[in-house]
Structure 1
Amino acid sequence: MTQTFTTLITNDDGIGSPGLLRLALAAHDAGLDVVVAAPAEESSGSGAAITATESDGRILVDRRRLEGLDGIPCYAVHAAPALITLIASHGAFGRAPELVLSGVNPGANLGRAILHSGTVGAALTSGVNGGRGLAVSLDVTVNPTTLRWGVAARLAAQLIPFLLDQEAGTVLNLNVPNVAGDEMPEFRTAKLARFGIVQTTMTQQDRHQIRLAVADTAAHAEPGSDADLLYQGFATVTSIRSVDERPLADLVL
């Protein structure tokens, strides 16, 4: 990679996540100019929220040192990952990032349910603000006692040159199977499943409580979808967009 690109590494699992560390190391080894800024606490399921803990109207930020990232600025930010990406695009951590890598998330982010993912929300916020984004997730439903963070990080690094060749605003969603050993899964482009790896249903409701249940839908996902191809053992790549308008017939009331 002949050109150095300013790159923000973030996630929704917090500054201490092993997936975040491995992704930062992979990006640094790929020759990117890396800064790490991640939530001080877990922010899973935050989507593109712009919530934060403030003091006198200021977002709280703590400088951190992460093992193996000597010389790389690292920040624990008391904010949701999308807000971290947003303030980074305005120069909060130095030069505005041209690329945002979000992850590695412990758990797949599949189908239309990615709307709710803080991992994906951070990547999409980069695209909205003129950068490029890559959300990276590891399917932990297979072999959950041994998580292959390095495999997911290396696959993400392989995608970076392709992503940087795309137009500004491009965002990719990568889901990686938790394969045994250091075996590298093959890439497959995929459409979004209708739901995702799980579908949420309401099973009980009364005046004071609502009970939800989830059902595994991967084995019955639409052929060619991200859930289907990940279930088969492929690393799935989906190009995604954030909010956008659609053509609408003239409104006549």
Structure 2
Amino acid sequence: MPLALVTNDDGIDSAGLHTLVRAALDAGVDVIVAAPAEQASGASAALTAVRQDGRTVVEQRDLPGLDVPAWAVQAQPGHIVAAALNGWFDPRPDLVLSGINHGANVGRAILHSGTVGAALTAKISDTRALAVSLDVDLHPSGDRHWETAAGLVAPVLELLLESPDGTVLSLNVPDLPAAQVGPIRHARLARGGAVQTRVEEVRDGGVRLSEVEVPDAPEHDTDSALLDAGHPTLTELRSVDAHDSELVQKWLAGRG
């Protein structure tokens, strides 16, 4: 039975994380949890952590209604995954599940996501990973449909476990009842993301930034557009890699 590390960037107390743990257990996966002790959204793949005597601060925790080993870590999700896959746990996790994120992770803006950053950090260690996100708006009201996302974890896990080592998948799910959700669609990344950063105020000694939802309609076959149309989207992501182009080669040849 595969062993999954479940983490996120919303913090160990988040409803999305607990839902993902239950979904993984229901899919027949063993689980250990190590997640930020506090909110760590926007951390990308940062490796920063709070340390005492040179050691990352870790506290073992009990999760409500869940009988799994769990640790609250004073660190970013990327740091947690790097530690988990490089000697912290024995046995070493076979895969990483990150989420369920409170908000979509779509478009090129996923570069900044701690949820996606955790999954891409797993790829560096040739470990399969899945990032799961629920398309909650910036100012949510009412109940969130975590179980809609949870219901898609098992079939996507089947695909992931049959894929080569280092495969990273990103699943985005509409915040709708399962009966109102369309079939999963493959999607390319939109140019931007569901949320963008804007400069709100410039003053001597500081700049104020705010997050705003993107007003423009995305291209029709992108993850943003398909998600808006009620489809869960599934995208395979690549980590840092060299681009096979002639740009640098031509430049160096010209200098010679």
TM class by shorter chain equals over 0.9
Partner of 2:113: 117
Cα shift at 1:195: 0.3
Question: What's the % identity of the aligned pairs?
Answer: 48
1:69 pairs with 2:74: no
Residue range with higher mean Cα deviation, 141-150 or 36-45: 141-150
1:52 pairs with 2:46: no
What secondary structure, in the 3-state scheme, does the structure 1 residue paired with 2:10 have? coil
Cα shift at 1:6: 1.3
Q: Which residue of the other structure, out of 84, 89, 95, is the alignment partner of 1:88?
A: 84
Within-5 A mapping of 1:210-249:
210-217=207-214, 220-247=217-244, 248-249=247-248
Partner of 1:43: 40
Residue range with higher mean Cα deviation, 54-63 or 93-102: 93-102
Partner deviation per Cα, 1:181-225 (whole Å, 9 max, x = no partner)? 665542001000000112333354343222335443365101110
Do the aligned partners of 1:177 and 1:235 also contact (CA within 8 Å) in 2? Answer: yes
Do the aligned partners of 1:219 and 1:228 also contact (CA within 8 Å) in 2? Answer: no
Q: Which residue of the other structure, out of 85, 93, 98, is the alignment partner of 2:94?
A: 98
Root-mean-square deviation (Å) = 1.8
> Separation in 1 of the partners of 2:211 and 2:79?
29
1:127 pairs with 2:123: yes
Do the aligned partners of 1:218 and 1:228 also contact (CA within 8 Å) in 2? Answer: no
> Separation in 1 of the partners of 2:215 and 2:25?
34
Partner of 1:162: 159
Between Structure 1 and Structure 2, which shows a larger proportion of helix residues?
2
Q: Which residue of the other structure, out of 132, 135, 138, is the alignment partner of 1:136?
A: 132
Do the aligned partners of 2:45 and 2:118 also contact (CA within 8 Å) in 1? Answer: yes
> Separation in 1 of the partners of 2:158 and 2:48?
32
Partner deviation per Cα, 1:129-160 (whole Å, 9 max, x = no partner)? 11111111101129741101111122122200
Q: TM-score, normalised by structure 2?
A: 0.91
Alpha-carbon spacing, 1:73–1:29, altered in 2? closer, same or farther (3 Å): same
Partner of 2:199: 202
What secondary structure, in the 3-state scheme, does the structure 2 residue paired with 1:65 have? strand
Cα shift at 1:27: 0.4
Do the aligned partners of 1:10 and 1:100 also contact (CA within 8 Å) in 2? Answer: yes
Q: TM-score, normalised by structure 1?
A: 0.92
Partner of 1:191: 188
Question: Runs ≥4 in structure 1, deviation > 2 angstroms?
Answer: 141-144, 180-185, 198-207, 211-219
5+ long unaligned stretches in structure 2: none
Report the AA paired with residue 107 of structure 1.
G
